[in-house]
Amino acid sequence: MTSTWLTYCSRILVVALLTGSVAGCAWLQRINPFSSDDDELKPAPLMEFTPEARLRTEWRESVGAGLGRRYNRLEPAVRGNRIYTADAYGMVEARDRETGERIWQTRIGIPEGALLGAIAVWERDNDRGSFVTGGVYADDFAVFVGTARGELFALRADDGGELWRVTLSSEVLAPAASSRDHIFAVTGDGRLRALSRSDGRQIWSYDTQVPVLSLRGTSAPVYSDPLVFQGFSSGRLTALRGDSGQVVWEVPVGVPTGRSELERMADVDGTPLITPAGAFAVSYQGAVKSLRLQDGFTQWERPMSSFVPLAEGYGQLYVVDDQGVLHALDQGTGTVIWQQDGLLRRGVTGAASVGAHVAVADAEGFLHVFAQTDGRPVARTRIDRRGIRVAPYSDGSRLYVLGNSGRLEVLRVESN
């Protein structure tokens, strides 16, 4: 199998080509596929505007040693009255979402013993020990974390104790999902698996072919009873029955075109958005589409290139394209309501809607807040000087923002 990776390096998109077997892959080199005069362009300067709102911090804490130097997007998981987080080096925590008080903390995949522990610290300081890559998923009973070693850990939600772990065929680059009986996990070699909740035993597997060149990362599975939706690096969004793995429909979101492998990259890396109005998905160098849930019929589509998660609010779909432009599209028609291009080349994350606002973060660590009605900027603050690559999470009234250094901050948007 072959797989490849996308990362930001000095604010420029860089592809790292990874080749070899699943059992033993070898780094070849990092190449810059976007070599052109545009490479000399710097990130857009911070926009000047008159603040119409303020961002009030409710609490802030540090999560382990941060997300590491690799392009890992380790999303936190909010469930009930808790928020679960992980750093890149095996530290997993549960905190009270109202106060930030730590409820439990545990380590996964770190060797024990004085000598091995010292080696682990040395590796962490040199970023050689970073191995948590899959983000965090939580339900009422368990917390799931994936690693570059292909492991999926299941921890008890109440105290962090290990329930089980399984080793899959390739690294886990996205959070899992769950139904009543199954855990759904996708790996970098293009395989989606359903595992038993009780012991991690494989129930079914769906395999796809990974292109020679693809983006680093994978779309996270989304379960909406009775279907599980998964985007793949082939540019397709697939809907399968959660109980059996039977394919219900499969639709190309991005169609590979061009003469070179680089031009043919069409990954669906941003997690699809599933709503009663349809399944929304976007591909790199492809399009954003609205698909009917029952049969995948294309309700509308618009050319777009993106690899970050989608968001919704005010009947609008929010898409951050690969240049950092924030688009607000009508969910029913795909019509552009407004677009905000003040964050060009700033390494912008996916969006989150909160109240009457929509928020994104950037590679310099700023959180930007805009009005959902017309996209005008209303507030901004800096969260983490080491940058932010994880999209903010919104519970409808608050934003949870995790920076690359591990700084976790919870904020409210308040009118001036």
Q: Is residue 324 part of a domain?
A: yes
Q: Is residue 321 part of a domain?
A: yes
d(CA 216, CA 219): 10
116 Cβ contact partners less than 8 Å away, ≥ 6 residues apart? none
Cα 73 off chain centre by:
5
The pTM of the full predicted model, rounded to 2 decimals, is 0.87
Q: What pLDDT score was predicted for residue 215?
A: 65
Q: What pLDDT score was predicted for residue 355?
A: 96
Q: What pLDDT score was predicted for residue 65?
A: 92
pLDDT in tens, 250-275: 999 987 676 777 766 768 889 999 99
| Pair 173, 216: CB distance under 8 Å | yes
Q: Is residue 90 part of a domain?
A: no
Q: What pLDDT score was predicted for residue 392?
A: 98
Residue 328 structural domain: 46-73+311-416
Q: What pLDDT score was predicted for residue 234?
A: 87
Q: What pLDDT score was predicted for residue 211?
A: 65
- Quote the number of domains for the chain: 1
d(CA 378, CA 371): 7
CATH number at residue 61: 2.130.10.10
Q: Is residue 339 part of a domain?
A: yes
Q: What pLDDT score was predicted for residue 26?
A: 26
Q: Is residue 265 part of a domain?
A: no
Radius of gyration of the chain (CA): 20
Full pLDDT tens readout for the chain, 416 residues: 333 333 333 333 333 333 233 323 322 222 334 444 555 589 999 999 999 999 999 999 999 999 988 778 899 999 999 999 999 999 999 999 999 999 999 999 865 444 444 445 545 545 567 899 999 999 999 999 999 999 999 999 999 999 999 999 999 999 999 999 999 999 999 999 999 999 999 999 999 987 665 566 689 999 999 999 999 988 899 999 999 999 999 999 987 676 777 766 768 889 999 999 999 999 998 899 999 999 999 999 999 999 999 999 999 999 999 999 999 999 999 999 999 999 999 999 999 999 999 999 999 999 999 999 999 999 999 999 999 999 999 999 999 999 999 999 999 999 88
Q: Is residue 222 part of a domain?
A: no
Q: What pLDDT score was predicted for residue 113?
A: 45
Q: Is residue 81 part of a domain?
A: no
Cβ atoms within 10 A of the Cβ of 9, count? 13
Q: Of 215, 205, 135, give the one whose Cα is nearest residue 177.
A: 135
Q: What pLDDT score was predicted for residue 343?
A: 98
Q: What pLDDT score was predicted for residue 20?
A: 31
Q: What DSSP line would sit under 39-52, residue for residue?
A: GGPPPPPPPP----
d(CA 164, CA 144): 10
Q: Is residue 318 part of a domain?
A: yes
Q: What pLDDT score was predicted for residue 69?
A: 82
